[in-house]
Amino acid sequence: MVKFLERCYVYLVFVFLYMPIAVLMAYSFNDSRSRGTWGGFTLRWYAELFQDRTIMTSLYYTLLIGVLASLIATIIGTMAALGIHNSRGWKKKLIMNITYIPVLNPDIVTAISLMILFVFAKVRLGFITLLLAHITFNIPYVILSVLPKLRQLNKHLYEAALDLGATPGQAFWKVIIPEIMPGIVTGMLLAFTLSIDDFVISFFTTGSGVSTLSITAYSMARRGINPKINALSTIMFVFVLVLLVIVNIRQEREQKKGRGGKNGAKSQSGGYSPEHSDPQFGTEWV
């Protein structure tokens, strides 16, 4: 009986969360403009959506901001993760706590803070400020995606590459980066998803003439319910959902690989050990 009630509670929560989205998606195919009547199945709202110049311009800025912000945030976040990983003591704890603040901070606080900063610096609100804002709030998510892969990394791997004749640059690009690449890709996909999905920070840090799809949908909704909003919201929801599924699948695969690697290492009878040495190759083995 308890399990039945628990399942019912979970199902009710999911219905409460996703039923409005399901209704919105259904009415994006409604031939009638009225939300109270069903006029038949149609795709004309999607056709009109892609013919709307305002929406297409917003789509262009959304994708451009998302791609640039995710790439730049991934580069900065990866370098920051490497620095944090190599830090020690109270400095590392302090930096980690600072990294968590933007993640836990409400979006409205971050948005107003960035807007005040840009106004104080006398930077005109527009494309540049919007891009800088997206880079800023994406960096912590990249750091938190890369750090777990760095923790799984063998701390002697870099030194081993140097001992085998690699330069510091070669050891970094050909040994370290490939090992942490899954975390980098996951962080980049997550940053891109968050950039496309963001509304609050974009609304406060953009200027006239530059708007993302979320801002355009909000502006259209203020003038009345247009069926094209349903179509636009459906496309955005499906696109973000696909990206999140990809991110979660990658994370699940990496976790399984990590568990499999540990179990495989335990089951092997031989391996590297500082207590035994092979005289032929000069390396140490069990």
Q: Which domain holds residue 120?
A: 53-257
The answer to whether residues 240 and 193 touch, using CB atoms and an 8 Å cutoff, is yes
As a whole number, mean pLDDT of residues 148-174 equals 85
Q: Is residue 107 part of a domain?
A: yes
Structure-token match 């399984």, residue found: 256
List b or e across 5-38, with b for residues whose CB sees 16 or more CB atoms inside 10 angstroms. eeeeeeeeeeeeeeeeeeebbebbbbeeeeeeee
- Name the residue among 161, 197, 250 with its Cα closest to residue 70: 197
- The percentage of residues in the chain with a pLDDT greater than 90, rounded to a whole number, is 23
Bridge partners, 272 (sequence order): 285
Claim: this prediction has a pTM higher than 0.85? no
271, exposed or middle or buried, with CB in 10 Å at 0-12, 13-18, 19+?
A: exposed
As a whole number, mean pLDDT of residues 164-192 equals 87
Q: Is residue 215 part of a domain?
A: yes
Distance CA 93, CA 106 (A): 22
| Residue 124: DSSP 8-state | P
> 122-132, pLDDT tens digit by residue?
999 999 999 99
Q: What is the CATH number of the domain that holds 147?
A: 1.10.3720.10
Q: Is residue 5 part of a domain?
A: no
In this predicted structure, the answer to whether residue 146 has a pLDDT above a threshold of 80 is: yes
pLDDT at position 261: 57
Question: Where does the pLDDT of residue 264 fall: very low under 50, low under 70, confident under 90, or very high at 90 and above?
Answer: low
Q: Is residue 16 part of a domain?
A: no
Question: Where does the pLDDT of residue 226 fall: very low under 50, low under 70, confident under 90, or very high at 90 and above?
Answer: confident
In this structure, of 29-33, 115-119, 189-193, 251-255, the range with the lowest mean pLDDT score is 251-255
Tally of domains in the chain: 1
Q: Is residue 182 part of a domain?
A: yes
Question: Rounded to the nearest 5°, which phi and psi values hold at 30?
Answer: -85, 130
Q: Is residue 85 part of a domain?
A: yes
In this predicted structure, the answer to whether residue 44 has a pLDDT above a threshold of 90 is: no
Q: Enumerate the H helices of the chain as residue ranges.
A: 2-27, 44-51, 53-86, 89-104, 107-120, 127-152, 157-163, 168-171, 177-197, 200-205, 213-222, 227-267
Q: Is residue 113 part of a domain?
A: yes
In this predicted structure, the answer to whether residue 161 has a pLDDT above a threshold of 70 is: yes
pLDDT at position 189: 87
In this structure, of 1-5, 28-32, 161-165, 261-265, the range with the lowest mean pLDDT score is 261-265
Q: Is residue 227 part of a domain?
A: yes
pLDDT at position 59: 85
